[in-house]
Each structure stands twice: as structure tokens, then as C-alpha cells.
Amino acid sequence: MFSSQVAVVSILLTLVGAEELVFPPGFKFGAASSAYQIEGAWNVSDKTESIWDRALHTLPWMSTDGTNGDVACDSYHLWQRDIEMAEELGLKFYRFSLSWTRLLPNGFANKISEDGKNYYDNLINGLLEKGIEPLVTIYHWDLPQSLQDLGGWTNPLISDWFEDYARVVYSLYADRVKTWITINEPVAICDTAYSMGTFAPGIIHLESVYLCSKNVLLAHAKAWRVYDEEYKPLYHGKLSICNHWVWFEAHTEDDEEAAELSRQYSVGRYTHAIYSNEGGWPPAIEERLNAYNVLHGYSHPRLPPFTDEEKELVKGTYDYYGFNYYFSLMARRALPGETITPHYVAGIRELGIVMEAYPDLSPTLPPAFYKYPEGLRKHISWIREKYGDLELMIAENGFYSTGKMNDFDRMDYMHDCLEQMLLAITEDGANVTGYSYWSLMDSFEWNESGLKFGLYHVDFNSTERTRSARASADYYKTVIKNHALHSPRP
């Protein structure tokens, strides 16, 4: 080849190579938080107790170190600094959640707190002034204790209470908030809470898992329909429920069925009713659980069936597909007589499936966090195979480390996950339109308060809760600015 041809070829190669690392035009980057984990101010003004306030004040096993979210990052007072950080990073959106008891002290919609309303007004307006879109999660686990006293997510009336709450929220903020998540991670709300007791309300009760699963879906659907009918014509926003953080891989080739059942059980149980054409529970899960019920002498299905009317109510209640991704587990069929240790989805025991960490991945930190970025791309393919070519948004993806400022492990994780996401977009043709890092800053991490996920370090020993950018904050900022992915390593 002549040298000019070589030059052309090498320019083309550079372009092709570079193209893979560039995010699609309009792709949005954000960072996330949730009310209980950052706001603090648990008892200011007329705010009442949430189930997390109650649990961490009264149940000793809920906290490894006796701390709670009473003050957390004190974002109730320091929200201006939070906006400043979002601006420093160049975020297109900031995902945060509303505290139900801060807005509706009674849990019911008969009284709106003036201070609660103003707090979120200020936050939303402050973000918009900086050109940052608010992405609002209506429910991120902090149920009013007053409603828990009535059975919480196991009481079928909760779907109406949630609908009322959502209607208040839209009436206050839908003019400015265009992207919504109704409910974050139902598997944590129903399964982790009621099967492990490690999340509020800290009750271990398997039947409650299934009542909760159905009620969460009905609550989401009713809230989605209120928006769709009353607010979408005016404001054209979009809503999704937000699912799950784990991808399940088959242990061996023979375990593909076990892996697929695990996906259907822990993801499909909260998506099939909404995104599938037929609605209702994933058939394989309904069948297996019913068989288990019969075998164990139950006269009613413990996973409550949907009526046809309920199926229609829930089906199609989405505008996009929001999900979180953190790590992956391996699934295999239990050996005869094998004891299955409880997991965050305890019902998996009824399916005779064992979930384990990847044998060839060592945990980066105790408790185990098995980094497997490829699981993100696989999860995306699974969603598209099941539900078609939806608009997808990664609403959380994050990594915890010991709290150090030079957090190369976090940057590597972000890089590797973003790379897998880009492969899903460029190679597989997935329409992923946004990515939100969890979390903007170190937060109060529920039953494991010491975990540090933040792009910003928070000094929890200082009354000022001083926030400082970690190296990962600078990395993310550059990725956002370039709208392209580069290695964090020199």
C-alpha cells in the first residue's frame, strides 16, 4: 500500500476504535441517593417515623455498629452542597427519593407538610437552576410506620394509600419533574425485608413476601395510571418501577434451568405482570410455587393470583425499563437433601435452587461483593429477549470500597460496567438512554452503615458532614465531559 492509503486506513481504524467508546448522542449521566440514607432530620417539623427510623431505633440486629440515619449526610440542611456536587460532576440528572413521612406526616394524603413540601421544592428548583434534571423516586423503602402498624405492604389497601401519596406528589412536582421511578427494588421491600429480616420492618415471615409482591405491583400500577391519565397529557413525563441488582448465571450447563428460574423468581416476579404481553406472574414461578404449596398442604396459593381485572390494571404500566445492577450470582439445582441457606430471596428455597458466589471471583471486601461487569450486558439481553426493545435506564450501578480517596477499585468497576453497557448498545443494539452512579456521596447504607459507595467522601464525624471529591468523582466528571469512556489507569 502507498503511504497515503496506510494513513487513510489507520485513520479509519482509529475512528472505528474510538467509535466504540463514545456514548450515543443524548445519552444522560446521573448519580443517585435516597431520602433515608442522606436526609437525616428524622424528627424535624411535623415529620413522623418511617419503618427505618423505628427499626434502627429498636431492633439491635438491624445495625452492625449501633448507628442509624437520624442525621445521615444531613442533606435536609445541606441540600445546596448536594446540588453543587452534582454541578461539579456535570451531571445531566440527579436521582433522589421523597420521604413519605416528610411529605405526609399521617401516611395518608389528608395532610401535606408545608416544610416537607418546601424542602423538595427548593431541591428541585435548585437543580433546575443549574440545568440538572431531577429524577424522582417516589418510594425508596421508608414506609410510614403508621401504615406499617396496619400491615404495611401486606395490607391490600396499601395500593390505594400509595396511589393517594403519588397523586399528591404529582400535584406538587409534576410540572418540573419529567422522569419518575415509582418504587425502587421491590425485591428488597418484600423479599429482603420479610425473608431475611435484615431490612425494615425486620420481620421474618414468608407469607408476607408474597402478599407484598402483589401489593407492590398493584401500587405501582395505580400510581402509573394516575400519572398517565391526569398528568402525562400536560407534562409528557415518563415513569417506571425500578428493579433488581443481581444477574444469575448457570453454575454448569446443566443448571441453565435453575438460573432461568432464579431470574424469573427474583426479577420476573416484579416485571412479568408489567412488561409481558400476557401479564400476571411468570408462569414457571406460579407453577412451581403452587406445586410446593400442594406438597406442603396449603389449601390456597400463597403467591396470590391476579384476577383478570388486576392483570389488565398492571399490564403495560411503563414508559421505560429502569433497573439497578451491582453483581452476579451463580445458580444451581440443590443436591438431594442439601440444606439451602437463606438468601435475600428466601423463596428460592422452595424452588430447590442454591445461589452462590462465583467460585473464581474472590470477594473484594467482606461482605462479599462479586464484581462481574459482564452480568450487566447479559441482564440487558435478557430483558430485551423477554420484553422486547424497550428504552432502558440503569438507575443504579455502584461499588463500595473502604472509604479511601484514591479509589481505583471503584473507577475500574465503573469503567468495566460502562464498557459492558456500551457493548450492549453498540454490538447488541440495546436502547440504553441513561446511567446513574450509586451513590453521589457516602450514605447511610441501611443495615450495613459502614459501606462507602460515594463519589464524594462524607466525614460523618464532623457536624458539618463535610463532603470531598474522591478520585472517582474526577474520573466520572471527565467521562461525562468527553461523552466517551477512557481507562482510569494511566
Q: Catalytic residue numbers?
A: 185, 396
Among 43, 122, 252, 362, binds ligand NAG (CB under 6 A): 43
- If the CB atoms of residues 364 and 431 are measured against ligand NAG, the closer one turns out to be 431
Does residue 448 belong to the site contacting ligand NAG (CB under 6 A)?
yes
Does residue 66 belong to the site contacting ligand NAG (CB under 6 A)?
no
- Least distance to ligand NAG from the beta carbon of 311, Å? 25
Alpha-carbon gap, residue 470 to 407, rounded angstroms? 7
- Least distance to ligand NAG from the beta carbon of 259, Å? 20
Does residue 99 belong to the site contacting ligand NAG (CB under 6 A)?
no
- Look up residue 473 and give its amino acid: A
Does residue 64 belong to the site contacting ligand NAG (CB under 6 A)?
yes
Give the number of residues in contact with ligand NAG, rule: CB under 6 A. Answer: 14
- Least distance to ligand NAG from the beta carbon of 65, Å? 8
- Least distance to ligand NAG from the beta carbon of 477, Å? 25
Interactions with ligand NAG, residue window 127-166 (CB under 6 A) = none
- If the CB atoms of residues 3 and 461 are measured against ligand NAG, the closer one turns out to be 461
Interactions with ligand NAG, residue window 187-246 (CB under 6 A) = 192, 196, 198
- If the CB atoms of residues 14 and 64 are measured against ligand NAG, the closer one turns out to be 64
Does residue 447 belong to the site contacting ligand NAG (CB under 6 A)?
yes
Does residue 461 belong to the site contacting ligand NAG (CB under 6 A)?
yes
- If the CB atoms of residues 67 and 290 are measured against ligand NAG, the closer one turns out to be 67
Site string for ligand NAG, 325-344 (x = CB under 6 A): -------------------x
- If the CB atoms of residues 43 and 402 are measured against ligand NAG, the closer one turns out to be 43
Does residue 70 belong to the site contacting ligand NAG (CB under 6 A)?
yes
**Secondary structure of the chain as H, E, C letters:** CCHHHHHHHHHHHHHHHHHHHECCCCCEEEEECCHHHHCCCCCCCCCCCEHHHHHHHHCHHHCCCCCCCCCCCCHHHHHHHHHHHHHHHCCCEEEEECCHHHHCCCCCCCCCCHHHHHHHHHHHHHHHHCCCEEEEEEECCCCEHHHHCCCHHHCCCHHHHHHHHHHHHHHHHCCCCCEEEEEECHHHHHHHHHHHCCCCCCCCCHHHHHHHHHHHHHHHHHHHHHHHHHHHHHHCCEEEEEECCEEEEECCHHHHHHHHHHHHHHCHHHCHHHHCCCCCCCHHHHHHHHHHHHHCCCCCCCCCCCCHHHHHHHCCCCCCEEEEECEEEEEEECCCCCCCCCCCCHHHHCCCEEEECCCCCCCCCCCCCCCCCHHHHHHHHHHHHHHCCCEEEEEEECCCECCCCCCHHHHHHHHHHHHHHHHHHHCCCCEEEEEEEECCECCCCCCCCCCECCCEEECCCCCCCCEEECHHHHHHHHHHHHCECCCCCC
Site string for ligand NAG, 341-380 (x = CB under 6 A): ---x----------------------x-------------
Does residue 426 belong to the site contacting ligand NAG (CB under 6 A)?
no
Does residue 115 belong to the site contacting ligand NAG (CB under 6 A)?
no
- Least distance to ligand NAG from the beta carbon of 395, Å? 15
Among 45, 106, 155, 433, binds ligand NAG (CB under 6 A): 433
Catalog residues that contact ligand NAG under the rule CB under 6 A. Answer: 43, 64, 70, 192, 196, 198, 344, 367, 391, 431, 433, 447-448, 461
